[in-house]
Amino acid sequence: MGTLVLEGLARRYGATVAVERVDLDVQDGELVALLGPSGCGKTTTLRMVAGFVPPSAGRVLIGGRDVTRAAPHGRDTGMVFQSYALFPHMSVGQNVAFGLEMRKVGRAERERRVTEALRLVRLEGLADRLPRQLSGGQQQRVALARALVVNPAVFLLDEPLSNLDAKLRAEVRFEIRALQQRLGLTTLFVTHDQEEALTMADRLVVMDRGRVRQIGNAEALYERPADAFVAGFIGRCNLLRGALESPGRFRAAGGATLPCAPGAAPADSVLALRPERVSVETRGEGLPARLLAVTYLGAQTEYHLDLGGTKLLAIRATPAEDDPRRALAPGDAVTVHWSPAEARLLPALPGDLVEEAA
Amino acid sequence: MGTLVLEGLARRYGATVAVERVDLDVQDGELVALLGPSGCGKTTTLRMVAGFVPPSAGRVLIGGRDVTRAAPHGRDTGMVFQSYALFPHMSVGQNVAFGLEMRKVGRAERERRVTEALRLVRLEGLADRLPRQLSGGQQQRVALARALVVNPAVFLLDEPLSNLDAKLRAEVRFEIRALQQRLGLTTLFVTHDQEEALTMADRLVVMDRGRVRQIGNAEALYERPADAFVAGFIGRCNLLRGALESPGRFRAAGGATLPCAPGAAPADSVLALRPERVSVETRGEGLPARLLAVTYLGAQTEYHLDLGGTKLLAIRATPAEDDPRRALAPGDAVTVHWSPAEARLLPALPGDLVEEAA
Amino acid sequence: MRGSRWRRMAFVLVVAGAYGLVLAPVLAVVVISVFAQEIVSFPPEGFTLRWYANAWEKREFARGFVTSLQVAFAASAIGVPLGTAAALAINRGFGRMDGLRGAMNTLLLGPLAVPGVVAGTALYLFYVRAEFWIDDDIKGTTLGLVAAHVLLTIPWTVRLVSASLQGLDRSAEEAAANLGARPLTVFWRVTLPMLRPGVVAACLFSFIQSFENLELTLLLVGPGRVTLPVAMLNYLEFRVDPTLAAVATVQIVLVGALMLITDRFVKLSRVV
Amino acid sequence: MRGSRWRRMAFVLVVAGAYGLVLAPVLAVVVISVFAQEIVSFPPEGFTLRWYANAWEKREFARGFVTSLQVAFAASAIGVPLGTAAALAINRGFGRMDGLRGAMNTLLLGPLAVPGVVAGTALYLFYVRAEFWIDDDIKGTTLGLVAAHVLLTIPWTVRLVSASLQGLDRSAEEAAANLGARPLTVFWRVTLPMLRPGVVAACLFSFIQSFENLELTLLLVGPGRVTLPVAMLNYLEFRVDPTLAAVATVQIVLVGALMLITDRFVKLSRVV
């Protein structure tokens, strides 16, 4: 295994910028997720690492070696494709052996390593099947084995879970992470699913429209988002446009004045407040609010609130059966409260879509 | 609007049972969701109501009239298809007018009602566009308008949100529900997404392999699931196989003895325990457990626990920064606790897949 | 990146070669038709429309052209609706019997694979017997010719319409029924308009297939009632000169124009 | 439910009608070939293989059969690789230029639409000029005939292989490169095997197109070196009897067998 370094990597198609600039160090054995909505450039970045897309600028270094101009077959990366990309005319064993064959590994050694790789992904005994005879989850594991068997310096995963159903996805997520940690694989992982990225990655790179918005671990991104886009993309978040009225007091566009963290705020700032940090009480201190809707979701309950013209979402653990909050209905008056430090002022980059609480 | 009654509705294809038996009363103005995994028979049930699939047994009554043998065009249902099923060669206006034309509504009246329906779904001014010129969300609203404009007795929705992206889905969900409540539409709604069903429906019908497992509102299904399948399908749930050792003490297959609600338990019973009802402490009273993994998910943190051979999942609100639980790492010893009443003994029907906590 | 540039050049060469090979004779005939001399020398001695005038004077060509148009039009008008109905029946009438549907589709490839001259001989012999039975002329009549050409158009129509049918979203038809449309109304208002690309392409190809057919036609035309391809063949038997090139050029232009016009409405390369 | 039963019966009738129409002459010719009398009467007077013996004795048919096989084989062997390369080049060589690709595809439909006799005339005139220049025979030679038939096979091959290419998951090729395969290895080990259905169908259809071609061939065959369809036409000119039906039956059986065998390996109704 080795390290992966991206230096000022960019890709333009004519006037269209697919990737503006990515700088990234992936440590030996680290799993880094590229996370963002579709069209953010994450897949293009991965494909530049694999060599399928030539960069317009910047460098790719794998294990310290500059491979920016190397062909895909000379890069020593192991990629797992979203569609799995198994060879339909080869058996599972032949699929897994393909990379070893290309490396001119001898027959006996090849068979040993194929068997070992299939055991690793728990597909012993299926070597003679054709890919179409396997379930989606099994095909996915064949694709993993095929990429792993050649011991690539860098492991690349392109939305490997998006074709699995929800139940299987949680399971495979766990498996891939365990495998990656056990084998110490240097991994770059592309996904649009924040839960997937949070669960699996050591560090996350949040991308949007070709730009890197923030790099950090799950906690850093969730607790200290760099801007409104990151706050809205990682977890749910109330994002309110407005302006600072006085230190610690934010006047939201809707009309309400809300307590917030002290600090300077630019003109186009946004107040970011996590819905689960907003407490809802039937009485007591806090801001008065009116309930627009209550949605029971089992473990949690969503409260859609109106604070004098400003809409706010609160998510609380569903109150116990005997709690008066259990009986709350649309139209009821409640008081809401949050620690001012939880209400952060964040810059909204031009073009960011700042919405009402989802 | 009217009521919808299904009496012993069943559909077999040769030896295959698509729907074994569905009995259901949908009240005037009520929204009922058919919820279940793919292949559970929910779509077949909807299509029997619409008349596209002739039932093998049972009756369909719309507004008290038996329409079991009526052709689709004689049923007075308004269906919104998963693919939207807009007529690609007709403009938006012509699409919406189609049903009125079939009902021989005069030109002036037709135009008035089309305009009104498009206004209702906020698509004024797009009547002359072709469907392919609209976004997915707009097409979805045209499909809604087309079904609504004829004032059908029963409104049928077949996974209407599954082709929208996550952001839009939450929004449209809210819109459809508001429209349905405002117009008092009697609605049958098919979905495989439990959150969608919980958010939108007055009552839910949980189906599995052609059978109705439970009918009730969100709270009834979540708090008082009828069996292990419903407990696992609505929200997340620890489902542990085992046997009652003594009243209030359950011996799980893994080896641990766990406190549970008192009551009789059949031989093949399952202990159902919601992960968010399991508290995790670094010290204090409770059962000793070892942490297998901790997953930070922003608002919540998942704790994968090992209780003497039995695996258990706990989900807690992420502890504050200064809480000692914030520093918990795999391998640490913790104590877990739950109110015995929360650990219910449920029957597991033969063939039910009872898994480890997901 | 260097390798990929060479590869691209090789690609372009292959494409140019294949196109050159396929189109060269066609281009050659167009060129020949406007050269002045009967045996072309290089450089050409001058351009002329003399061969076109010559072709116009030979009335067999003009008559053949009209006959071909009539027959092609009639055969398409009969064959396309029939083929469309058959395509619907094959793809819709058999419910869940996928195996049977596959067999029907393969069987329909049969006529495409039966050599034209074999089919022509078959029809000729068939007509001879049939005339013997009904005691009236069939071969040599326009009716007999049209009937034969209908056979040409049906397999093409079934294939093209089937392809459209398989890409068709059936839920649009269900939506129409749900909105109160009876089955026939669903067909005319929703199904048929959605099949338009396939049906238009079927009309075009049926017309061309019939218009250009020689093999099936050769034995079935009567004296003095020949189609254009047969007229060309007859002319060739006693004389070869650029007149034929002129006639061929007119046909190429006609068919090309027909394809271009159709392509405006339906992207042929997507349907065929 | 009653209405749907009537509709189904109507469907079955239409299908039966269309198939009957298309297949009737073929069946008729098979039946005629085994009837004893020259003019069929009903009930038949007896079955015989006399017409088959007769066909065998006419050596032109056997020689034509062999020539047809040789030409069809050679034309396919040249045309299919060329057409496959062209299909790859068209679909792969133009990067993001979708408009151009569409134009190339439509242009390739051109030859399908050029009447066979027009193309034959064009080639004949072209060969006459070419002979004049290189001062050697082309028309009448097997080489000239094969060259002409290659033109038949290329458009079919390009169309069939293009269809396969468009359904091909390119990420499989990328996976191979990622695993260390050089471009040529990727082609031989991954791309070509994945295109197999299209290539096999192209071979079959190229062979059949060449084997059954009359129009293009008619003017280009030399004396004593005729293909089977031309031999049949020549025979027809002086005599019509069930011998032709016997020859036709043999061809139908051959082509049918070829299609059935191919269908075992590649589901033709899905590819074509």
Distance CA(A199)–CA(A196), nearest Å, equals 5
pLDDT of C94 over the 60 cut: no
- Rounded CA separation C211/C225 (Å): 14
Is residue C107 very low, low, confident or very high in pLDDT (cuts 50, 70, 90)? low
Burial of C135 (C-beta count, 10 Å sphere; 0-12/13-18/19+): exposed
- Do the beta carbons of residue A40 and residue A207 sit within 8 Å? yes
Taking CA–CA distances from B53, the nearest residue in chain D reads D1
Neighbours of chain C (3+ CB pairs under 8 A): A, B, D
User: What is the 8-class DSSP label of residue D188?
Assistant: I
SS3 for D33?
Answer: helix
Chain D residues bordering chain A (beta-carbon distance below 8 Å): 96, 169, 171-172, 174-182, 185, 189-190, 193-194, 196
pLDDT along chain A (358 residues), means of 10: 90 91 95 92 95 95 94 93 94 96 94 93 91 91 94 93 78 86 93 90 94 93 90 88 85 85 74 92 88 88 90 89 86 92 81 48
Beta strands per DSSP E along A31-89:
31-35, 57-62, 65-66, 77-80
Smallest Cα–Cα separation from B100: which of B89, B85, B112? B112
Among the partner-chain residues D22, D110, D128, the one whose CB lies closest to the CB of C154 is D22
What six digits make up the tokens of C56? 């116009």
Tell me what pLDDT residue B356 has: 43
Could you tell me the CATH number of the domain that includes residue A329? 2.40.50.140
Which candidate, D61, B340, A29, places its Cα nearest to that of C118? D61
Residue B171 CA, distance from chain mean position: 17
Contact assessment for residue B279 and residue B316, using Cβ atoms and an 8 Å cutoff = yes
Of the two residues C67 and C49, the one the predictor is more confident about is: C67
On whether any CB of chain D is under 8 Å from the CB of B69, the answer is yes
Residue range D67-76: mean pLDDT, rounded? 93
Looking at chain C, the whole-number percentage of residues with pLDDT higher than 70 is 81
- Chain D residues with beta carbon closer than 8 angstroms to that of A51: 177-178
A323 plus A196 within the same structural domain: no
Q: What subunits touch chain B, counting only 3 or more CB pairs under 8 A? A: A, C, D
Over range C90-112, report the average pLDDT.
Answer: 62
Backbone φ and ψ for A207, nearest 5 degrees, come out as: -115, 150
Distances (CA, A) of D128 to B81, C237, C249, D219: 64, 15, 18, 11
In single-letter form, the type of residue at position A117 comes to A
Of the CA atoms within 13 Å of residue B301, those in its CB half-sphere come to 21
Q: How confident is the model at residue D3 (pLDDT cuts 50, 70, 90)?
A: low
> To the nearest whole angstrom, how far is the Cα of B313 from the nearest Cα of chain D?
37
Chain B residues in contact with C171 by the CB 8 A cut-off are: 81-83, 85
Domain membership of residue B334 (yes or no) is yes
**Average pLDDT of span B51-80:** 94
Last residue of a domain, one of B223, B243, B278: B223
Lowest-confidence segment of A301-305, B67-71, B354-358, D30-34 by average pLDDT: B354-358
Q: Which of D22, D260, D261 has the highest number of chain C CBs within 10 A, making it the mutation to test binding with C?
A: D22
Q: How far apart are CA A202 and CA A225, in angstroms?
A: 17
Nearest to B85 among C171, C182, C193 (CB): C171
Q: Cβ–Cβ of C196/B87 closer than 8 Å? A: no
Distance set, CA B81 to CA B190, C131, C133, D131, D132 (Å): 10, 57, 57, 67, 69
Nearest CA-CA distance, residue D2 and chain C, Å: 13
Residue B358, pLDDT score = 37
Asked whether residue A340 is assigned to any structural domain, the reply reads yes
DSSP alpha helices (H): ranges in D42-141? 50-57, 59-92, 98-113, 116-134
**A318 and A189 within one domain:** no
Residue D203 has a pLDDT of 92
Any CB–CB contact under 8 A between B54 and chain C? Answer: no
- Three-state secondary structure of B231-297: HHHCCCCEEEEEEEEECCEEEECCCCEEECCCCCCCCCEEEEECHHHCEEECCCCCEEEEEEEEEEC
Tokens 């059966």 sit at which residue? A321
Contact yes or no for B72 and C193 at CB 8 A: no
Q: Which residues pair with A9 in a beta bridge?
A: A22
Closest CA–CA distance from residue C178 to any residue of chain A (Å): 31
Q: At residue C52, does pLDDT exceed 80?
A: yes
For residue B160, tell me if it sits in a domain.
yes
Which residues in chain A are contacts of B234 at CB distance < 8 A? 298
Mean pLDDT calculated for residue range D224-252: 81
Report CB contact under 8 Å: B299, A234: no
Mean pLDDT within D249-255: 84
Contact of D181 with D190, CB cutoff 8 Å: yes
pLDDT in tens, B10-63: 999 888 899 999 999 999 999 999 999 888 999 999 999 999 999 999 999 999
Examine the pLDDT at D96 and tell me if it is beyond 70: no
Query: Do B219 and B240 fall into the same domain?
Result: no
- Kindly state whether A297 is in contact with chain B, defined as any CB-CB distance less than 8 angstroms: yes
The Cα B142–Cα B117 span in angstroms is: 9
How confident is residue C197, by pLDDT bands cut at 50, 70 and 90? confident
Q: Looking at the complex, report in whole angstroms how far the Cα of residue C169 sits from the nearest Cα belonging to chain B.
A: 7
What is the dihedral sign for C-alpha A64, A65, A71, A74? negative
Same-domain check for residues B212 and B263:
no
Averaged pLDDT, D127-133: 76
Alpha-helical (H) ranges within chain C are 2-33, 50-57, 59-92, 98-113, 116-134, 142-166, 170-178, 183-186, 192-194, 196-212, 215-218, 228-238, 242-265, 268-271
- B356: in domain: no
Distance CA B172, CA B137 (A): 8
**In a shared domain, residues B232 and B112:** no
- Give the pLDDT mean for C195-212: 89
The pLDDT value recorded for residue B205 is 97
- Rounded to an integer, the average pLDDT of C175-195 is 94
| Shared domain check, A113 and A42 | yes
**Domain interval for residue A270:** 228-347
Question: For position D271, what pLDDT does the model report?
Answer: 57
C240-261: pLDDT as tens digits? 777 888 888 888 888 888 888 8
pLDDT of residue C105: 63
pLDDT one-digit tens code per residue, A183-214: 999 999 999 888 899 989 999 999 998 999 99
Q: Which candidate, A342, B70, A63, B213, places its Cα nearest to that of C180? A: B70
Instruction: Give B49 to chain C, closest Cα distance, Å.
Output: 11
Residues 6+ apart with CB under 8 A from C272: C160, C201, C205, D109, D159
- Higher pLDDT pick, C262 / D7: C262
- Which span out of A300-309, B19-28, D148-157, D219-228 was modeled with the highest average pLDDT? B19-28
CATH number at residue A136: 3.40.50.300
Same domain, A132 and A246: no
**ipTM confidence score:** 0.80
Claim to verify: residue A239 and residue A131 sit in the same structural domain? no
Q: From residue C36, how far is each of A277, C31, C52 by CA, in Å?
A: 92, 10, 11
Residue B242: pLDDT over 50: yes
**Domains in chain D with CATH codes:** 58-238 (1.10.3720.10)
D contact test, residue of C15, C100, C186, C265 with most D CBs within 10 A = C15
Could you tell me the end-to-end alpha-carbon distance of chain C, in angstroms, rounded to an integer? 36
Residues B187 and B265 in one domain: no
Measured from the Cβ of residue A249, the count of other Cβ atoms closer than 10 Å reads 13
> Looking at the partner chain, which of B75, B77, B102 has a beta carbon nearest the beta carbon of C181?
B102
Backbone angles phi, psi at C110, to 5 degrees: -45, -60
Residue B352 lies in a domain: no
Buried b / exposed e over C138-167, threshold 16 CB at 10 Å, is bbbbeebbbbbbbbbbbbbbbbbbbbbbee
Mutation pick from B35, B191, B192, B199 vs chain A, by most beta carbons of A within 10 Å, is B199
Domain end residue (candidates: A172, A202, A223): A223
Task: Look at C175 and B71 and tell me if their CB atoms are within 8 Å.
Answer: no
A247 and A181 in a common domain: no
B312 is a domain residue: yes
Query: Are B152 and B48 within one domain?
Result: yes
Alpha carbon separation from D41 to C128, C133, D37, D97 (Å, rounded) = 12, 9, 8, 64
CB contact under 8 A, D29 and C110: no
Query: What total of structural domains would you count in chain A?
Result: 2
The residue out of B200, B223, B246 marking a domain boundary is: B223
Task: Give me the half-sphere count of Cα atoms (radius 13 Å) on the Cβ side of residue B121.
Answer: 28
Q: Is the pLDDT of residue C173 over 90?
A: yes
Q: What is the pLDDT of residue D47?
A: 74
pLDDT band at C109 (very low <50, low <70, confident <90, very high): low
The answer, for B103 touching chain D at a CB cutoff of 8 Å, is: no
- Residues B185 and B316 reside in one and the same domain: no
Q: What is the mean pLDDT of residues B121-127?
A: 89
In a domain, A188, yes or no: yes
- Please indicate whether, in this complex, the C-beta atoms of D93 and C12 are within 8 angstroms of each other: yes
Count the neighbouring beta carbons within 10 Å of the beta carbon of residue B135: 10
- Residues of chain B with pLDDT > 90, as a percent, come to 57
Residue B220 has which token pair?
A: 């009834």
Residues of C with CB under 8 A from a CB of A: 1, 3
pLDDT at B353 exceeding the cut of 60: no
CB-CB under 8 Å, D89 with C11: yes
The model's pLDDT over B84-97, given as tens digits with 9 standing for 90+, comes to 999 999 999 999 99
Nearest CA to C38 out of C251, C229, C246, C209 is that of C246
Q: Of C171, C152, C169, C158, which is closest to residue C198 (Cα–Cα)?
A: C158
The most confident of the ranges A89-98, B318-327, D3-12 is A89-98
Q: Can you spell out the DSSP letters for B159-221?
A: STTTTS-HHHHHHHHHHHHHHHHHHT--EEEEES-HHHHHHH-SEEEEEETTEEEEEE-HHHH
Please return the burial class of C211, using the count of CB atoms within 10 Å of its CB with bins 0-12, 13-18 and 19+. Answer: buried
Mean of the per-residue pLDDT values for chain D?
79
Distance from CA of B72 to the nearest CA of D (A): 11
Checking if the pLDDT of D236 tops 90, the result is no
Handedness of CA B239, B240, B242, B245 (dihedral sign): negative
Q: How far is B299 from chain A (nearest CA, A)?
A: 7
Cβ proximity of A292 and B269 under 8 Å: no
Structural domain contains residue B125: yes
H/E element, D152? helix D142-166
> What confidence score (pLDDT) does residue A222 get?
92
